[in-house]
């Protein structure tokens, strides 16, 4: 792995948190993600199942973790199965974790080869009353390809139909949405690497540069600092493309007078940063661009002031929308009369501001979380208002990453320039 090893104490603590939530007499199973094919003999780069990584730190395919907290034999309460390597595999693909390395990484003492899983699992299952299986239950999930977990659920129900099956995903979400100090340290590193990438771009941006060249500057800085890479496909959107919320073709040209929207985050040890900044290609904002920028920045500041323990995200989003309504009125984009008579189904703001401003952040950029839960210390969220004026080819979004603390919140991206005067000054230095 490229990133620095994480102390196994994190994964031991995570397993203990999840185990404490299982019903008595229960067994839980988590599987590594598949290696996905492309064409011919090609494959995509491997991305580990975030839940398995959260509980074991294992970052390779063909691995399975079994938790059975109530098993009478302490050695059977945690078992990690990993693929046995061979000399041929070492030659062609490099070594996988051996048993000692898997123990050192995960803290699981009972490590076995994956080839013995079926026999061991059957023996464990005969002692269990309940079986917790894991599926991707993220609200935005739209995966049409059956995963390893999907197949495993089907196979278990076919082979062992008389057991009581339960959902592991809500328990994992409950644990993962509140980050430990060790996890927050990983996110801070991802944010620091993102900061370095942004400052690099400020120094090189000029009219005529391709969006793909800006992406390459981020990639260079991220990789030289040992990041896994991008936390998500980066959005490098100049001019009108910034009005496309999920634009990531990054094939346009940065033209004089354009704004360049950068929605980019580094991934460090699987933990994500998620930054958005919008900067002038020419090095200076026009008066109109500055007015919209100031409006978005004002909305963001007011939004961040709302984030504290006990707040419900739905109520928070409603208040941010109210603040955005005022900003859009001040910019002359909508009228006060339209706001006063608007309906929830068709508010006038939707033409210029059509997305939410907060999501959880962690091992996934849109991290798992339970709905309708009040904020509490240890949660990490984004704050990302934006205004998109398609008729002016002007899209502008600003995004911070916020840690909820007992006293309120901390901005994890505070070091990354966001004040327009500072951005103009830094860009002038690089020209």
pLDDT in tens, the chain (431 residues): 788 899 999 999 999 999 999 999 999 999 999 998 889 989 989 999 999 999 999 999 999 999 999 999 999 999 999 999 877 787 787 888 999 999 999 999 999 999 999 999 999 999 999 999 999 988 888 777 889 999 999 999 999 999 999 999 999 999 999 999 999 999 999 999 999 999 999 999 999 999 999 999 999 999 999 999 999 999 999 999 999 999 999 999 999 999 999 999 999 999 999 999 999 999 999 999 999 999 999 999 999 999 999 999 999 999 999 999 999 999 999 999 999 999 888 899 999 999 999 999 999 999 999 999 999 999 999 999 999 999 999 999 999 999 999 999 999 999 999 999 999 999 999 66
CA distance 303 to 324: 10
Q: In the annotation, is 399 catalytic?
A: yes
The neighbour count for residue 109, using CB atoms within 10 Å, is 12
pTM (predicted TM-score): 0.96
Q: In the annotation, is 270 catalytic?
A: no
* Residues facing residue 28 across a β-bridge: 67, 132
CATH number of 181-429: 3.90.230.10
Distances (CA, A) of 405 to 64, 309, 323, 374, 411: 34, 7, 24, 13, 10
* Residues facing residue 238 across a β-bridge: 260
The answer to whether 228 and 268 have CB atoms below 8 angstroms apart is: yes
Strands (E), 9-88: 26-31, 63-67, 78-82
Size of the chain in residues: 431
* CATH architecture assigned to 9-176: 3-Layer(aba) Sandwich (3.40)
For position 431, what pLDDT does the model report?
62
> What are the structure tokens assigned to 354, written together?
């059509």
Q: In the annotation, is 366 catalytic?
A: yes
Q: Of the residues 51, 359, 360, 367, which is catalytic?
A: 359
DSSP SS3 for 47: coil
Q: In the annotation, is 41 catalytic?
A: yes
Q: Of the residues 159, 220, 224, 355, which is catalytic?
A: 355
> What are the structure tokens assigned to 315, written together?
């109520």
DSSP SS3 for 394: strand
Distances (CA, A) of 159 to 104, 118, 155, 376: 34, 11, 6, 41
Alpha carbon dihedral 232, 233, 236, 239, in 10-degree steps, equals -110
Q: In the annotation, is 158 catalytic?
A: no
Q: Of the residues 148, 211, 397, 424, which is catalytic?
A: 397
Q: In the annotation, is 274 catalytic?
A: yes
For position 101, what pLDDT does the model report?
96
Q: Of the residues 247, 293, 352, 388, which is catalytic?
A: 388
CA 98 to chain centre: 29
Q: In the annotation, is 302 catalytic?
A: no
263: nearest Cα among 243, 288, 285: 243
User: CATH 3.90.230.10 spans which residues of the chain?
Assistant: 181-429
277: nearest Cα among 290, 265, 262: 262
The answer to whether 409 and 402 have CB atoms below 8 angstroms apart is: yes
Q: In the annotation, is 388 catalytic?
A: yes
358: nearest Cα among 366, 347, 370: 366
Q: In the annotation, is 263 catalytic?
A: yes
User: CATH 3.40.350.10 spans which residues of the chain?
Assistant: 9-176
CA distance 176 to 10: 12
The burial of 430, by beta-carbon neighbours within 10 Å (0-12 exposed, 13-18 middle, 19 or more buried), is given as middle
For position 430, what pLDDT does the model report?
67
316: nearest Cα among 382, 388, 362, 407: 382
CA 75 to chain centre: 34
Query: Which residues in 56-75 are b (16+ Cβ under 10 Å) and which e?
Result: bbbbbbbbbbbbbbebeeee
For position 83, what pLDDT does the model report?
95
């Amino acid at each position: 792995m490229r990133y620095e090893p994480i102390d196994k104490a994190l994964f031991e603590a995570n397993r203990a948190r999840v185990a404490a939530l299982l019903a008595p007499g229960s067994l839980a199973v988590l599987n590594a993600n598949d290696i996905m094919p492309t064409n011919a003999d090609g494959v995509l780069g491997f991305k580990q199942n975030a839940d398995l990584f959260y509980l074991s730190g294992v970052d390779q395919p063909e691995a399975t973790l079994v938790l059975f907290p109530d098993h009478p034999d302490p050695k059977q309460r945690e078992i990690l199965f990993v693929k046995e390597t061979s000399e041929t595999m070492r030659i062609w693909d490099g070594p996988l974790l051996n048993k000692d390395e898997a123990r050192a990484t995960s803290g699981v003492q009972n490590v076995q080869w994956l080839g013995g899983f079926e026999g061991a699992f059957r023996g464990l299952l005969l002692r269990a009353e309940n079986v917790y299986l894991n599926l991707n239950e993220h609200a935005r999930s739209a995966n049409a390809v059956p995963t390893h977990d999907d197949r495993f659920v089907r196979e278990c129900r076919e082979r062992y139909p008389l057991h009581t099956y339960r959902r592991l995903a809500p328990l994992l979400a409950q644990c993962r949405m509140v980050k430990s100090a060790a996890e927050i340290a990983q996110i801070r590193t991802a944010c620091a690497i993102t900061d370095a990438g942004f400052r690099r771009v400020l120094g090189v941006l000029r009219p005529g540069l391709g969006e793909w060249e800006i992406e390459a500057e981020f990639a260079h800085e991220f990789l030289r600092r040992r990041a896994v890479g991008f936390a998500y496909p980066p959005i490098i959107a100049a001019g009108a493309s910034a009005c496309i919320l999920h634009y990531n073709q990054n094939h346009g040209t940065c033209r004089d007078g354009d704004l360049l929207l950068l929605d980019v985050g580094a991934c460090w040890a699987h933990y994500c940063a998620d930054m958005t900044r919008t900067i002038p290609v020419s090095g200076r904002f026009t008066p109109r661009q500055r007015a919209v920028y100031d409006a978005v920045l004002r909305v963001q500041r007011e939004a961040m002031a709302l984030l504290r323990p006990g707040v419900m995200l739905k109520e928070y989003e409603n208040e941010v929308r109210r603040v955005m309504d005022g900003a859009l009125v001040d910019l002359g984009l909508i009228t006060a009369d339209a706001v006063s008579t608007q309906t929830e189904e068709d508010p006038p703001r939707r033409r210029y501001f059509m997305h939410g401003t907060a999501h959880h952040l962690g091992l996934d950029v849109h991290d798992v979380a339970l709905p309708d839960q009040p904020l509490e210390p240890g949660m990490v969220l984004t704050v990302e208002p934006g205004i998109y004026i398609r008729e002016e080819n002007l899209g502008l979004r600003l995004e911070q990453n916020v840690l909820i603390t007992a006293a309120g919140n901390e901005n994890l991206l505070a070091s990354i320039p966001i004040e327009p005067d500072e951005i103009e000054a830094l860009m002038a230095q690089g020209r």
